[in-house]
Amino acid sequence: MPKHVLVGYDGSETARRAYLFALELGACARARVSVVSVYQMENGADTAALMMADNGRDRLAAIRAELAALSAEPGVEVDVQLVHGSPGDALLSYVARHGADHIVIGHTERGALARWLVGSTATDVLAKARVPVTVVR
């Protein structure tokens, strides 16, 4: 059974379902749950200025409030972090740095063109993860 479950969270419906699944898994396994929301920014000078001005406090507070409204699973330790970068790389990097031993992510159907242009976080994580991954639809 996992001891540290990582859930990727982007606010989508499937991410909310993934979070609730991760809470249930955490409760059953007595595992801690880490929620990572990735703030993906485009390249450019305006983006760099925005990143320096935005330390993420407001965004992080909003995510915490949203998660608290979804469910408060008693006995499950949950921490929430906001990171910058590519979603797949950020989640896999978190696993390597923090020792998460299970990843839970949501998967939203996109057309072939959208997958080609922006990729799929679920596909990226499934291809590269060295820990079990649960994809919630």
Q: Name the percent of the chain lying above pLDDT 70.
A: 79
Helix ranges restricted to H, the chain: 13-29, 45-53, 57-70, 87-98, 112-118, 121-128
pLDDT in tens, 32-57: 999 999 987 665 555 555 555 556 78
- 97: domain CATH number is 3.40.50.620
The DSSP bridge partners found for residue 20 are: none
- Each residue of 101-128: pLDDT tens digit? 999 999 876 555 444 444 578 888 988 9
Burial class (CB in 10 A: 0-12, 13-18, 19+), 92: buried
Question: Does the pLDDT at position 88 exceed 60?
Answer: yes
What token pair was written down for 115?
Answer: 């997958």
Q: By residue range, what is the domain housing residue 18?
A: 4-136
Q: pTM value?
A: 0.84
CA dihedral 7, 11, 15, 19 (to 10 degrees): 50
**Residues 93/36, Cβ–Cβ less than 8 Å:** no
Q: Which two structure tokens, joined as six digits, stand for 59?
A: 């965004």
pLDDT at 118: 42
| Number of independent structural domains in the chain | 1
